[in-house]
Amino acid sequence: MNHIVSIGTSHHVAPIEIRERLAFSEEQLIESHHHLCELDQVQEAVILSTCNRVEVYAVLNSVRTAEAAAKVLAEFLSRCCQIDTESLKKWTYLHHNLETIQHLFRVTSSLDSMVVGETQILGQVKDAYDTSRSTGSTGTVLNRLFTKAFNVGKRIRSETTITTGAVSISYAAVELAKKIFNTLEGKTVAIIGAGEMSELTAKHLVANGVSNVIVANRTYERAVKVSEKFNGTPLAYDSDLGFLIDADIVISSTNAPDYLIKRQPLADIMRKRKHRYMFLIDIAVPRDIEPEVGKLDSAFLYNIDDLEAVVASNLKDRQHEAIRAEQIVSEEAKRFYDQLQIFQVNPTIKALHQQFRQIADTELQACFYKTTLSDQQEEVITSMTQAIVKKLLHHPMQNLRCAVNDGNADHGQYVQALRELFALDVDDT
């Protein structure tokens, strides 16, 4: 019987310096697939390599135990990444058969991701699978497995809300902005300070429809450098805040010791704006925007703690949804594994029936050749022989199928024994 085995590491078990050593570049992936599938025991393989995980999935034959199957992959990874097997054992995990299936389903459903519910991993797994297929490294089993994994990932996303709700500060700001303005199309964002978080938030806002970006900084050259990333307008920071008249969204993140935006100057700006809504995001510590600004009509002020509270709430909601998603994954993995076992047992059953029928047919023809029987007599003897073959095989095959359906771990040994005892030539494809 074939073994479905995976070996891997991720952010859960290994620091980045270990993940870097185990990672595969795009150039290495093609060659590594060929080397892996050249191993006698390996029938199929998929290598997944991202910034947070490196995993090898494989179908192996000619190995009797899960430990022997895992050893094949561990030695391959050790050779490829030039890391000794003992160190590899410390920083990797192993999965076998049902565990492998359930783990892959969890990965594609983003339940194993650093941020539960993130959407990038499904595309990364698809890319890894496509690369493996292009090298001819996949076959019937992994094609079925990965296709099912993608379907499970899609089901999780459609039947739960695990992917909804911002779980980063920058996305939380975008989420709040959408609630205030309904749409961000045609809005203008003003960045004060041009810090890394401000840039990231502005990037997400632009991706969601904001069309104009103003960058104000005490150092004009820095404002120019940042504004170029957004095809925006650079300005030297002016304490009279006149540059905010056209701003719908304001992001401030500086190291200033005092408030840069105070209530009274902004109140004057708001009057000139005819009190159009303004969403202010204060990411600075200490704060850049005077808290009293939040009391102005049409001004919506959020600081870093407010945004973190939104993120924490969304993460809590995702964790709740993750419980539902885990149940779906467990059910789908068990169902797929059962189907796969039946699928893998059927070729052996078919080969055994075929062998018995061939033996019976050969002996019948020899018998008919030596005797003179009527057509009716030959037909009766043939029917009787076929019935004997069916009855002889009925209970062994029924018990084998029951062992598979009942999850009997020994059924693989039964199949292997049948193949060896009867010298069956079985095509597993």
Q: Give residue 151's pLDDT.
A: 97
Cβ neighbour number for residue 307 with a 10 Å cutoff: 24
Asked whether residue 313 is domain-assigned, the answer is no
Q: What is the CATH number of the domain that holds 174?
A: 3.40.50.720
Threshold 0.75, pTM exceeds: no
Q: Check whether residue 173 and residue 151 sit in a common domain.
A: no
Please indicate, yes or no, whether residues 131 and 173 belong to a single structural domain of this protein. Answer: no
Give the C-alpha separation, 176 to 302, whole Å. Answer: 9
Residues 6+ apart with CB under 8 A from 148: 105, 332, 336
* Residue 96, domain CATH: 3.30.460.30
Please give the tally of structural domains in the chain.
3
> Is residue 235 included in any domain, yes or no?
yes
Q: Which two tokens stand for residue 183?
A: 């749409």
The beta strand positions in 198-342, using DSSP E, are 212-217, 233-236, 249-252, 278-282, 299-303
Interatomic CA distance for residues 318 and 322, integer angstroms: 6
Map tokens 């991202």 to a residue. 50
Does 324 map to a domain?
no
| Residue where a domain stops, chosen among 159, 179, 210 | 159
Q: Which residues contact 288 (CB under 8 A, 6 or more apart)?
A: 192, 193, 252, 253, 254, 256, 259, 260, 261, 282
The reply to whether 239 and 288 lie within a common domain is yes
Give the list of residues 6+ apart from residue 114 with CB closer than 8 angstroms, or none.
11, 52
- Same domain for 19 and 134, yes or no, is yes
Residue at 426 is within a domain:
no
262 and 128 assigned to the same domain: no
175 and 302 housed in the same domain: yes
Tokens matching residue 58:
């494989």
What 8-state DSSP symbol labels residue 288? S
Q: Are residues 216 and 274 in the same domain?
A: yes
Do 51 and 182 lie in a common domain? Answer: no
pLDDT of residue 407: 57
Whole-Å CA distances, 309 to 161, 166, 253, 331:
19, 11, 18, 34
Which of 307, 325, 351 is where one domain is finished?
A: 307
Based on the fold, state whether residues 22 and 147 are members of the same structural domain: yes
Contact residues for 94 (Cβ-Cβ < 8 A; gap 6+): 5, 6, 7, 70, 73, 74
Among 37, 51, 367, 402, which one carries the catalytic annotation? 51
Helix (H) or strand (E) holding 43: strand 42-49
Residues 29 and 9 in one domain: yes
Domain that includes residue 359, residue range: 341-421
37 part of the active site: no
- In DSSP terms, 95 is beta-bridged to 6
Q: Of the candidates 115, 132, 159, which is a domain's last residue? A: 159
Integer CA distances (angstroms), 42 to 61, 71, 100, in order = 7, 12, 16
- Other residues' Cβ atoms within 10 Å of the Cβ of residue 284: 23
Instruction: For residue 129, tell me if it sits in a domain.
Output: yes
Does one domain contain both 119 and 267? no
H helix or E strand, kind and range, residue 42: strand 42-49
Q: Locate 76 and state its tokens.
A: 């391959």
pLDDT tens digits, the chain, 429 residues: what are they?
Answer: 578 999 999 999 999 889 999 999 888 999 999 999 999 899 999 999 998 899 999 999 877 788 888 899 999 999 998 998 888 999 999 999 999 999 999 999 999 988 788 888 999 999 999 999 999 999 999 999 999 999 999 999 999 988 877 677 888 888 899 999 989 999 999 999 877 878 888 888 999 999 999 999 998 998 999 999 999 999 999 888 999 999 999 999 888 889 999 999 999 999 999 989 999 999 888 899 999 999 999 999 999 899 888 888 888 888 889 999 999 999 999 999 888 877 777 777 788 788 888 888 898 899 888 888 888 998 999 999 989 988 888 888 777 777 766 655 566 677 777 777 788 777 665
User: Is 329 within a domain?
Assistant: no
**Residue 317 falls within a domain, yes or no?**
no
Nearest to 250 by CA among 178, 189, 170: 189
> Which has the closest alpha carbon to 191: 204, 181, 180?
204
Whether 126 maps to a domain, the answer reads: yes
Helix H or strand E encompassing 104: helix 98-108
Residues 371 and 261 in one domain: no
DSSP letter (8 states) at residue 46? E
What pLDDT, on a 0 to 100 scale, did the predictor assign at position 405?
63
396 prior amide bond cis, ω within 30: no
Residue 150's contacts (CB-CB under 8 Å, 6 or more residues apart) are 108, 122, 125, 126
